[in-house]
Amino acid sequence: MSKSTKLEWRAQEEFFINLEPLQRGGVVPAESRKIALSYIDGYSTCDHCLGTLHILKKPPICDFLGEVADFLGMDRAILTHGCREAKFAIMHAITKPGQAIVMDENKHYTSYVAAERAGLKIYEVPSTGYPEFKIPPEEYINTIEKAKKETGELPALVLLTHVDWTYGNLVDAEKVGKICKEYNVPFLSNTAYSSGRMPIDGKEVSADFVTCSGHKSWAAGAGVVGILAINDEWTDKVFKPSQRYKVKPIEILGCSARGSSALVLMTSFPYVRERVKHWDEEVEKARWFSSQVESFGDVAQLGDKPHNHDLMRFETPVFDRIAQKHKRRGYFLYEELLKRKIVGIKAGKTKSFDLSTYGLTKEQLGYVIESFQDIINKLS
């Protein structure tokens, strides 16, 4: 029997509490699951093709994208395979190899790799380092100046990671946007961990481009899917069509995410639009969770304090000391949590770990806190 037919890895985590930071914002509501299933049998979004996906009326992808653009405070939006593909599409469309790009040190690795793929020279805005790792918006000025000095021209693009995946720090995009406007450089706000969770207004922060992750933050974890939103003035460059196939945008090779990932994103949208209104409750829960966990002693939440997001990194000497003496070493925590039907903290991690509280109830989080305490009591 071939190795890939051994399916013992089939997900059994359905009834578990999942704290995985990448996944909480992508959890798919029941209605969207049904849609995904009905689109899983070879019947695709292409049944009523009008030449390209983003103008489709049935399913109403065109209307949906208009609503998404409004929701983001931008003029136009198209689907991409993911947020990284949206970032690369922008870079490839508006920059030339050898030009400079400015991005924050807390960026997702894909921002860096996309810039490498586009042949750009990468300048990083440094964070304040341990323990808060903040990106001060005004630091963008220094980095833009540095890039200008070294390359002889302004950077071709400035990228901000609105909320970073490591510390869950929220940066003031409006200030960065204002700096970009003053320099007259295009501004990309990467909202992979913010849009779909919290309200976003691209216009308010003077963004030229907003990129989003459906599977990370728009309750569309069925597949991978992203959104690329732009302001009108960039239409000709970023949504440029093929010379021969006039309806096919070159940067998404005609059509990108289609089939169940697009459908799930769309079906989840009313739910997402509603949930962002309750963002303050999510922040409140995250702060409460953080304070409870810190109260164990020998635990410290890194990043913004008080915290402004559900993504958190904790330094956890309290668990690391147990790992030193435990026969399962660093794996004990993962295994102890698994026994308690809690997953999502990386196996082997005890010095520090990342988690997200997004969309979990206070009762569920209370159970997680009790479980941590229980493990400490049992093994310390």
Coil, helix or strand at residue 195:
strand
Pull the structure tokens for residue 124.
């990083």
Which of 17, 54, 59, 133 binds a second copy (CB under 8 A)? It is: 59
Q: Which of 138, 112, 132 lies closest to 124 in space, CA to CA?
A: 112
Map residues 348-377 to x or -, x wherever contact with a second copy holds by CB under 8 A: ------------------------------
**Residue 17 or 185 having the CB closest to a second copy:** 17
**Residue 215 or 313 having the CB closest to a second copy:** 215
**Residue 41 or 280 having the CB closest to a second copy:** 41
- What amino acid is encoded at 294 in this protein? E
Cα 150 to its chain centre, rounded Å, is: 31
- Among residue numbers 104 through 133, which ones bind a second copy (CB under 8 A)? 109-110, 112-114, 116-117
Shortest reach from residue 29's CB to a second copy, in Å: 10
DSSP 225-256: -EEEEE-GGGHHHHTPBPSSSTTSBGGGTS--
Shortest reach from residue 179's CB to a second copy, in Å: 25
Given a contact cutoff of 8 angstroms between Cβ atoms, the answer to whether 256 and 53 are in contact is: yes
**Residue 116 or 320 having the CB closest to a second copy:** 116
Count CB neighbours of 41 within 10 A.
8
Q: Which of 162, 155, 157 lies closest to 72 in space, CA to CA?
A: 162
- Among residue numbers 61 through 80, which ones bind a second copy (CB under 8 A)? 63-64, 67
d(CA 215, CA 79): 12
Shortest reach from residue 232's CB to a second copy, in Å: 21
Which of 54, 72, 78, 81 binds a second copy (CB under 8 A)? It is: 81
Contact residues for 165 (Cβ-Cβ < 8 A; gap 6+): 21, 22, 108, 192, 193, 311
Shortest reach from residue 290's CB to a second copy, in Å: 22
- Among residue numbers 143 through 182, which ones bind a second copy (CB under 8 A)? none
**Residue 39 or 183 having the CB closest to a second copy:** 39
Shortest reach from residue 325's CB to a second copy, in Å: 26
**Residue 41 or 363 having the CB closest to a second copy:** 41
- CA dihedral angle for residue 16, residue 17, residue 21, residue 26, rounded to 10 degrees: 70
Which of 103, 180, 222, 323 binds a second copy (CB under 8 A)? It is: 222
**Residue 235 or 380 having the CB closest to a second copy:** 235
**Residue 64 or 140 having the CB closest to a second copy:** 64
- Among residue numbers 323 through 342, which ones bind a second copy (CB under 8 A)? none
Pull the structure tokens for residue 21.
């930071």
Q: Which of 147, 145, 160 lies closest to 104 in space, CA to CA?
A: 160
Given a contact cutoff of 8 angstroms between Cβ atoms, the answer to whether 22 and 83 are in contact is: no
d(CA 159, CA 340): 41
- Among residue numbers 260 through 289, which ones bind a second copy (CB under 8 A)? 260-261, 264, 266-267, 269-270, 273
d(CA 214, CA 342): 24
- Stretch of residues binding a second copy (CB under 8 A), selected from 9-17, 98-106, 137-145, 322-330: 9-17
**Residue 109 or 130 having the CB closest to a second copy:** 109
Distances (CA, A) of 375 to 61, 197, 335: 48, 31, 11
Map residues 12-51 to x or -, x wherever contact with a second copy holds by CB under 8 A: -xx---x-x-xxx-xxx----x-xxxxxxxxxx-xxx---
**Residue 170 or 219 having the CB closest to a second copy:** 219
Contact residues for 149 (Cβ-Cβ < 8 A; gap 6+): none
Map residues 236-265 to x or -, x wherever contact with a second copy holds by CB under 8 A: ------xxxx--x-xx-xx-xxxxxx--x-
Shortest reach from residue 296's CB to a second copy, in Å: 26
Shortest reach from residue 308's CB to a second copy, in Å: 22
